[in-house]
Amino acid sequence: MKTLRILTALALVLPAPALAGPPIDPAKVEATGARAMGELELIGLTVAVVDKDGTVIERQFGLRELGKPETIDADTLWPIESLTKAFTAASLALLVERGKVHWEDPLVQYMPEFDLGDPWVTAHFTVRDLLTHRSGLSLGAGDLLLSPAEGSTPADIIASLKAIPPATGFREKYAYDNVLYVLAGDLVRRIDGRKWEDFVRQELFAPLGMSRCTAMASERLTKSNRITEHAPFPGSDGHEVLNPKMILNDSFYSAGSIGCPVGDMAKWARMWLNNGAIDADHQLLSKESVKELWTLVTPTGTSIPFDETKQKHLSGYALGWFVGDMLGRVVASHSGGSFGATSYLMIAPEEGVATIAMTNTYSSGASSVAQQLMQDMLVARPLPSHDYIADAAKRWTEQQSNVSAIEDSVAPPKGAKAPPVALAGFTGTFRDPWFGEATVSQRDGKLWLDLPHGDMLDGPLNPYDGTRFSALWPERRLMADAFVDFIVEDGKVTGFTMLPVSKETDFSWDFKDLRFVRSGD
């Protein structure tokens, strides 16, 4: 990875002649971080701007701990808190790719003791539901089991869930939670056999070269080059070192226990910018998984500051990520927060850029810096104009060409088989459960189909291939010709299904939903 690393007192820009230039002026990164340090009274801050080609601009500011001389450097370890959730979602996505689990599987299939207190909800709660904050539980439900409590396990959470009253209906409303993400990590263990932390180390950290990251909070706290968390003290204007008992512990597990230096987080961001690829020869997540993980499931609405800036109009939660828009671009993001540190990662995949910020202060410093830098890059990259009329004209020409080719598409293919029974065997009355009764008769030596609800969909059936016939409706402006596939069992026609002949057929001609069965003749 080519790196433009800016240290505390000196800006170093490594030459990268193959690139057109860094995604943003390094001086702007430095100025933005310095401004946040002063105006938000931060103790320490690390920032990175990443592009899909591997350029990273890093900047470190301030102290690892208030009152001590050690400054933050590129190797300093930070808790990323809820940014962990994207790692957990990616872990499950890998297991989905390997066919070991499916997103729509009922959770009780793998976790039979899971119980939300309502038998129907419990039975219909899926693997996907673990990740989408729409369980019906209240905001932060069960968090007292995680912090400042110590030693809670997934089993403790499962035992408690059925006693926590729901706040809304199942899948009715967004309400952020942590406990279900802890269960998602335990689900990884149950399906794969490895502990969640080992799976993350081996399947995510190792392939990406994130060698300095730690999966568990207790592991991070053994490292010497790590930040100390700080929080405001009541009645004080400044921040103080956080009580160690308030640091997020291992109970947060797959919901918030990972720690990383900013350079390793840049590798994580770059993989997402490259649609799941590590490099040209290695794919970590499939493109289909990236799309799945970034597909909005639970609408959330926008919040400050975006409500006021009018830069964002849509936001929701996908699988381990918030997704929405910013200045007309799709963005995926997540924040992390504890009692004494915050983190933020924002990715604009269409522009191929990402921003990362982490602070060792309980404040909005991380999110504001990452959002500011992203805004500055997007503003400097105006959206290209588009000729919608010319585009529509092109598509119309293509559509007309496709429509005119329908007559050719219903010509029997080379080597087409003859119908397996005499035409008289296809005639009779057939019924579809929702559409009603249809008849197939013979007219002038041909089959004739009469569908219910009017005469527009009545017409001849022309042999196509074996049990397949084509229905070319007399009213040609319908542009809804269909294939009729008869079902033959033991030499007798027992029913038929239908499909549009052309992909240009309007979706309202929903022939695909019809299942006609022969009724009494």
Q: Which helix (H) or strand (E) holds 367?
A: helix 365-379
Contacts of 44 by beta carbon, 8 Å cutoff, 6+ apart: 60, 61, 62, 63, 64, 72, 227, 359, 360, 361
Look up the CATH architecture of domain 3-85+231-246+255-379.
3-Layer(aba) Sandwich (3.40)
Closest by CA position to 318, among listed 132, 184, 134, 140? 132
Distance CA(463)–CA(486), nearest Å, equals 11
The SS3 of residue 46 is: strand
pLDDT at 17: 32
Domains of the chain: which residue ranges? Answer: 3-85+231-246+255-379, 402-518
Q: What is the model's pLDDT at position 305?
A: 65
What spatial distance separates the first Cα and last Cα of the chain, rounded to whole Å? 73
What are the tokens at 373? 């830098």
Q: How many angstroms separate the CA atoms of 326 and 349, rounded?
A: 12
Low-confidence ranges of the chain (pLDDT < 50): 1-20
240 by Cβ neighbours in 10 Å (0-12 / 13-18 / 19+) ranks as middle
Between the alpha carbon of residue 53 and those of residues 13, 58, 67, 286, 373, the distances in Å are 16, 15, 39, 19, 18
- 260: closest CA among 323, 217, 313? 217
For tokens 């080719």, the residue is 405
Extract the runs of DSSP E, i.e. beta strands, from 291-381: 298-299, 315-317, 322-326, 329-337, 342-348, 353-359
Query: 474 is written with which tokens?
Result: 């007399």
* Fold classification of 402-518 (topology level): Lipocalin (2.40.128)
CA atoms of 441 and 82, how far apart (whole Å): 65
Element (H, E) at 312: none
Q: Mapping DSSP to helix (H, G, I), strand (E, B) and coil, where does residue 63 land?
A: strand
- Asked if 136 and 142 touch (Cβ cutoff 8 Å), the reply is no
One fold for 3-85+231-246+255-379 and 402-518: no
pTM score, whole prediction: 0.83
CA dihedral 89, 93, 94, 99 (to 10 degrees): 140
308, with CB counted inside 10 A (0-12, 13-18, 19+), is exposed
Distance between CA 405 and CA 504 in Å, rounded?
A: 11
φ/ψ of 482, rounded to 5, equals -140, 155
| β-strand partners of 277 | 283
Task: Tell me the CB-side half-sphere exposure of residue 153, using CA atoms within 13 A.
Answer: 2
Enter the tokens of residue 214. Answer: 């730690």
- 77: phi then psi, degrees, rounded to nearest 5: -90, 135
- Model pLDDT, residue 149: 67
- Do residues 47 and 72 make contact, with C-beta atoms less than 8 angstroms apart? no
The rounded distance, in Å, linking the Cα atoms of 19 and 39 is 34
Q: For residues 242, 246, 247 and 251, what is the CA-based torsion angle, rounded to 10 degrees?
A: 180
pLDDT at residue 302, as a whole number: 72
Please report the pLDDT score of residue 382 as a whole number. Answer: 83
Buried b (16+ CB within 10 A) or exposed e, 362-380: bbbbbbbbbbbbbbbbbee
In sequence order, the 6+-apart residues with CB closer than 8 A to the CB of 159 are: none
pLDDT of the residue at 404: 62
DSSP string, 225-260: SBPPPEEE-TT-SSEEEPPGGGS--GGGHHHH--EE
